Structure 1
């Protein structure tokens, strides 16, 4: 039996309505929980990128990759282990302002965790902590006894340690589309 690992899936796509729904359905049908999801522009103009984190076996991941790539708007999907990626998350903590000055332990938490104060006003202050999920969870556990007014955490953002061939692949696709278009015009 294969080992369950954490995989970061990078999906390069066109920006079409409903695609995220179809991609998440691929995981849902297999009863696989998406641990983290983020979406943004990619390094290539007009190409968007989903980053999805899941815990599955490599065999499951390979099948899922194939199904994702069968979606019309998907240009290419890649998956990598944690060892093959550089990744981070970000979190915001909203806490009552008086605690910043009245509880020395809060200042210690901020300093030790290397969190940064984003804003302070008379009612609340906001801390930002970037790093691994475990680091963010530690800050959350340490701040919780003081009362967290609001908390939010981003999905994982990641880049691979090795070069991604996506730019070259897209250039080839674009060139082949131009050739096909010019043949159609003839």
Structure 2
């Protein structure tokens, strides 16, 4: 059964590492729904968060292939794990009418979104949260007149746990 999976790839921070990871998946015909990569607190370590809609068997194959890349340190499918915090970020541009302004501001307050640019008839908002919260926010904002938006895609971090002897948290 095809379902969305979030795969966290920890790699050495080297030139072209994100391109190599994306290339490996695209060469095998897998579609990446979102990819985010950035250095960690250790500038030599880079984390990539991939969202891929595939079957469990294909995700296992993807994991095996990613582990074969020279720079790969660790690959984890966090899709069915409760000990990860998953977030997304959205910037959303809206038309604002005087008539709907009060209702709009009530939703903004409820979701804890932040206006980052406001004019008399337009507004740009930002919001971070779990993917379901972002989805609900978009659906509830549609009647107000969304002009455009951009989402970051999912990124995740393991909740803090006391590491086992010889392990570092998150690696």
Q: Which residue of 1 aligns with 2:56?
A: 58
Unaligned runs of 5+ in 1: 171-186
Q: Which residue of 2 aligns with 1:111?
A: 109
Q: Distance in 2 between matches of 1:55 and 1:162?
A: 27
1:139 aligns to 2:126 (yes or no): no
Q: Which residue of 2 aligns with 1:88?
A: 87
Structure 1 pair 164–27 and aligned structure 2 pair: CA distance change class (3 A): farther
Task: Give a deviation string over 1:98-134, Cα, whole Å, max 9, x none.
Answer: 53x4412212221332322223245632211222223
Runs of 4+ residues over 4 Å off in structure 1: 162-165
The answer on whether the counterparts of 2:94 and 2:145 sit within 8 Å (CA) in structure 1 is yes
Structure with more helix by fraction: 1
Structure with larger Rg: 1
Which residue among 147, 153, 158 is the counterpart of 1:149? Answer: 147
State the TM-score, normalizing by the size of structure 2: 0.77
Q: Which residue of 1 aligns with 2:6?
A: 8
- The CA RMSD measured in Å over matched residues stands at 2.7
Task: Give a deviation string over 1:46-98, Cα, whole Å, max 9, x none.
Answer: 211111122333332222112112222223322222433210111111224x5
State the TM-score, normalizing by the size of structure 1: 0.72
Aligned pair count reads 164
Q: Which residue of 2 aligns with 1:27?
A: 25
Q: Distance in 2 between matches of 1:169 and 1:55?
A: 31
Structure with more strand by fraction: 2
The answer on whether the counterparts of 1:8 and 1:82 sit within 8 Å (CA) in structure 2 is no
SS of the equivalent of 2:70 reads coil
Q: Distance in 2 between matches of 1:164 and 1:5?
A: 31
SS of the equivalent of 1:23 reads helix
The answer on whether the counterparts of 1:5 and 1:81 sit within 8 Å (CA) in structure 2 is no
Which residue among 50, 64, 67 is the counterpart of 2:65? Answer: 67
